[in-house]
Amino acid sequence: MAILPARVTGIDHVVLRVTDIEQTRAFYEGVLGLHLERIYDRIGLWQFRAGRNLIDVLPLKEGEVLAPREQRGIEHLCLNIEGELDEVLEALAAEGIRPVLGPLEVYGSSGFGTSFYLRDPDGYEVELKVPYARTPVRMP
């Protein structure tokens, strides 16, 4: 197999299949604060701006069923955020939204940071990661 004569520079977008576009919009716009940038009616695609990237959502067509979370082929989606972690968690808690996991120290493309995980209305795990480790990272 030939190696691609190009260099991958990042991820442009991901596409998530969803069951209810209004609930999805309320989460990505209302909770995460993403901007709904485009609706492509012909194919039913909604695009939310996440920094330099997009999260595309594609509502299921009538009669289609979303696979169980464990069978979707996506473990989670990580979004980098800027802000004070405790303030973010407090604001979410004030709205009755609690992490399903975390905060915990993780390593990603920008190095160590602290993350916590939420679930969107269709059960996709969305990791929110600040660019700093809240507690010292100990390496063996």
CATH number for the domain whose boundaries are 74-140: 3.10.180.10
Residue 1 clears pLDDT 90, i.e. is over it = no
Domain borders along the chain are 11-62, 74-140
- Do the beta carbons of residue 113 and residue 132 sit within 8 Å? yes
Say whether domain 11-62 belongs to CATH 3.10.180.10.
yes
Q: pLDDT value at position 97? A: 95
Report the helix count and the strand count for the chain, using DSSP H and E: 2, 8
Q: pLDDT value at position 14? A: 97
Q: pLDDT value at position 52? A: 94
User: Is there a common fold for 11-62 and 74-140?
Assistant: yes
Give the C-alpha distances (Å, rounded to integers) separating 68 from 58, 93, 125: 16, 27, 13
Q: How many CB atoms are located within 10 Å of the residue 116 CB?
A: 21
Q: pLDDT value at position 136? A: 79
* Tokens of residue 111, six digits: 């190095």
Query: Using one digit for the tens of pLDDT, what is the confidence trace for 44-79?
Result: 999 999 999 999 999 999 999 999 988 998 999 999
Q: What is the mean pLDDT of the chain?
A: 94
